[in-house]
Amino acid sequence: MLLVVGLGNPGSRYARNRHNAGFEIVAALADRIGAGGWRDKFHGEFTRGLMGDTEALLLRPMTFMNASGRSVRAAMTFFRVEVADLIVVHDELDLPFGTLRLKVGGGHAGHNGLRSTFQEIGSGDFVRLRVGIGRPPPGWSGDVADWVLSDMPPDERAAFPEIVQKAVKSLLDIGEKGLTAATNALNARPKPRPAKAPAAGGEPTPGEEDVAKRRD
């Protein structure tokens, strides 16, 4: 059994914010695995389904970001979920936009949803799927909070569905193949295309035969 939590803020005002990347990805995961409808439970929205042969509990805390841990703790307590079986999907300032990374443990780096989860469950040794949103560009007039609570610009929003699907695949890989295989697959670089083989020795490449005939 895995508990997969997407962090974000409830309400239409925040729906397309950078800070709500976790909400969007877990919603897409629910659609992919054909989970039942969302129910109000554990101070959040809850549903369940299967990722391969692994039962998946999906949760989107409705407590607002700063109190996300209350929701996480309630679900973990009810289902007796171990910390090692918790996956938290969250936005990450320290990764470029669109970069995805799996990580176990570490600090909260000022992310209030992670901070609250640490405080409520007494540990940070869970799996995180970090979703890069990048830091504010030079000249940004607000602070970091304004940045994460702002909507993605049109170019990022247009690219985001592909990132969501890549994140969903990574989560499915955890359920179906395990964390190590999922991490290796996510971090794997595309293999370079093999160099084009030269023409066989002595045989003219296309066009060379005609040139030879004209010389005769």
Catalytic sites, residue numbers: 19
With beta carbons less than 8 A apart as the criterion, state whether 128 and 120 touch.
Answer: no
Query: Which residues are within 8 A (CB) of 159 and not within 5 positions of it... i.e. 6 or more apart?
Result: 97, 98
DSSP-assigned letters across all residues of 82-137 = -GGGEEEEEEETTS-TT-EEEEES---TT-HHHHHHHHHHT---SEEEEEE--PPP
171/176 Cα distance (integer angstroms): 9
Cα 194 to Cα 35, 43, 62, 131, 198, distances in angstroms: 42, 53, 50, 32, 12
